[in-house]
Amino acid sequence: MTVAKIAANTGHQNVAMLGIGACRPSRLVSNHEVCKVLDSTDEWIFERSGIRNRRWISGDESARSMAATAAERAIANSGIDKEKIGALILATNSWKTKIPHGGPIIAYDIGLNGIPAYDVAAGCGGFGYGLGIAADTVRAGSAQYVLVVGVETMSVVMEPTDRNTAFIFGDGAGAVVVGPSEENGISPTVWGSDGENAEAIGQNYDIPEYMDRAQEYQHKDPATDPVGRMVVTMQGPRVFRWAAITLPKALSSVLDTAGVAVNDIEVFVPHQANARINELMKQNLGLADDIPMANDIENTGNTSAASIPLAMEEMLATGKAKGGQTALLLGFGAGLSYAGAVVTLPPAPEVTSFDDLG
Ligand code: UT7
């Protein structure tokens, strides 16, 4: 018997983020406004989380419209011919359907119908997972350029009176184009999960796991029965404790894996979950006091899988960080899961998410 020779791809080992784009909802929602229905205060929210405002969708804004806008801006800012994009990865937790997933719809909306397009659900770590998979896809030669989009509309999967979640989450989308580059600009991903603590961030209403529950739901009308509206639940302090133990190890491991020293890090872009967690991580890792750290949470809230590209875009658009600088990224959240990498920041965007906000 002769064994058939099966062809293998070869790609480009050195890869980087070549362009970034984002989209922010036009509606800015203050702590004061949130507290009209939530039993909390502006002071408590700012002190405990670092949030002053968040953005929530309104009118005809949606996850679909924001993801497509962010993706188109990332492509325009990268200067890459759109037709060369060979795959799209959509990192999201709040996309309105599991069937169909959102990736193909976004590919269609931006004029790339037909390319492989799929969703990654890895909680707030989702963008880091997507970025790592995109980098490895280019390295393997499975696509020359890959678009990674993070999008969330957390406002619609939130209970406005829940003190654990209502003040923290926001909406938005961010995207990057990953492709070959002269110098490597994306380290190997350091990623992991902890399913033992899975229920620390969850949802009130599941797709029924057992047939008897499926039958029970058949008689309920989702439009009128609250069981039909899925909202996120979170045991905040439990996640905080997990973050305090797991993330310092993950961060040092990202530096080791990337082969860089702590002093090489010029910009720190952690997931925008809580400004206090970010300050603690910065101190524990021994990052220099004066290096810029993302603080997009202050006026954007926690946008889950969209937070890292949104935060990078904010820093680049405002000049707090510069294209070409070495940055440490770390996403973490539901799963529980995390993913981090050392990257070279993409060039500052020419078209920014602030252009249309006024
Ligand atoms: O993005 C996904 C990953 N998520 C995270 O990483 C979130 C991690 N966790 C957190 O960011 C924090 O746990 C929160 C910001 C969610 C909450 O802050 P906390 O400092 O952990 O608050 P706590 O739940 O321990 O509550 C402290 C106090 C309690 O009162 P006592 O027992 O000290 O009298 C709560 O009853 O604050 C009270 N409290 C509130 N007060 C006003 C709890 N929630 C609220 C609220 N407004 N919304």
pLDDT 10s digits, 51-71 = 999 999 999 999 999 999 999
Report pLDDT for 41: 97
Atom of ligand 1 nearest to the CA of 274: 11
The whole-number average pLDDT for the span 95-116 is 96
In this predicted model, what pLDDT tens digit does every residue of 176-192 receive, in sequence order?
999 999 999 999 999 99
Domain residue spans in the chain? 11-345
Query: Which residue CA neighbors atom 36 of ligand 1 most closely?
Result: 163
How does pLDDT run across 262-302, given as a tens digit for each residue? Answer: 999 999 999 999 999 999 889 888 898 899 999 999 999 99
Confidence at residue 223, expressed as pLDDT on a 0 to 100 scale: 62
Rounded to two decimals, the pTM is 0.94
pLDDT at position 249: 86
Query: What is residue 215's three-state secondary structure?
Result: helix
Token couple for 55: 């953005």
Q: For residue 276, give the ligand 1 atom closest to its CA.
A: 11
What is the average pLDDT across 147-154? 97
- Give the pLDDT band (50/70/90) at residue 219: low
Q: Provide the CATH topology of domain 11-345.
A: Peroxisomal Thiolase; Chain A, domain 1 (3.40.47)
pLDDT band for position 217 (50/70/90)? Answer: low
Per-residue pLDDT band for 85 (boundaries 50, 70, 90) equals very high
CA gap 285, 180 in Å, rounded: 30
pLDDT of residue 247: 85
Q: Is the pLDDT assigned to residue 129 strictly greater than 90?
A: yes
Q: pLDDT tens across 12-42, in order?
A: 999 999 999 999 999 999 999 999 999 999 9
- Mean pLDDT value of segment 2-7: 93
Supply the mean pLDDT for the chain: 93
Q: Best of 46, 48, 233, 310 to mutate for ligand 1, by most ligand atoms within 8 A of CB?
A: 48
Query: Cα of 284 to ligand 1 centre, how many Å?
Result: 22
Q: How far is the CA of 217 from the centre of ligand 1 (A)?
A: 33
Residue matched to tokens 């620390």 = 200
- Residue 12 is a catalytic residue: no
Q: Which of 23, 31, 93, 271 is catalytic?
A: 271
Residue 72's contacts (CB-CB under 8 Å, 6 or more residues apart) are 21, 110
Q: Check residue 225 and give its pLDDT.
A: 64
**Which is it for strands 85-91 and 145-153: parallel, antiparallel or unpaired?**
parallel
The residue contributing the CA closest to ligand 1 atom 11 is 274
Query: Does residue 146 register a pLDDT over 90?
Result: yes
Which of 67-76, 153-162, 167-176, 304-313 has the lowest average pLDDT?
153-162
Minimal CA–CA distance to 353: which of 278, 299, 288, 302? 299
Whether the per-residue pLDDT at 8 is higher than 80: the answer is: yes
**What atom in ligand 1 is closest to the CA of residue 243?**
6
The backbone region for 141, taken as left when phi is positive above 0, alpha when psi lies in -120 to 50, beta otherwise, is: left
> Residues 6 or more apart from 224 whose CB is under 8 A from it?
none
Instruction: Judge whether 124 counts as a catalytic residue.
Output: yes
Token pair for 209: 């796991």
Question: Looking at 76-80, 218-222, 253-257, which range is the least confident one?
Answer: 218-222
CA atoms within 13 A on the CB side of 330: 26
pLDDT for 358 beyond 80? no
Cα–ligand 1 centroid distance for 236 (angstroms): 6
Contact predicate 95/273, CB 8 Å: no
Comparing 310 with 2, which gets the higher pLDDT? 310
39-48, 133-142, 214-223, 320-329: segment of lowest average pLDDT: 214-223
Write out residues with Cβ below 6 Å of ligand 1: 40, 44, 48-49, 124, 163, 167-168, 236-237, 239-240, 243, 273-274, 277, 302, 304, 333
Kindly give the interhelix angle for 275-285 and 42-49, rounded to the nearest 10 degrees.
Answer: 20
Mean predicted confidence (pLDDT) in 236-260: 89
Under 8 Å between Cβ of 61 and 51: no
- Residue 254 pLDDT: 95
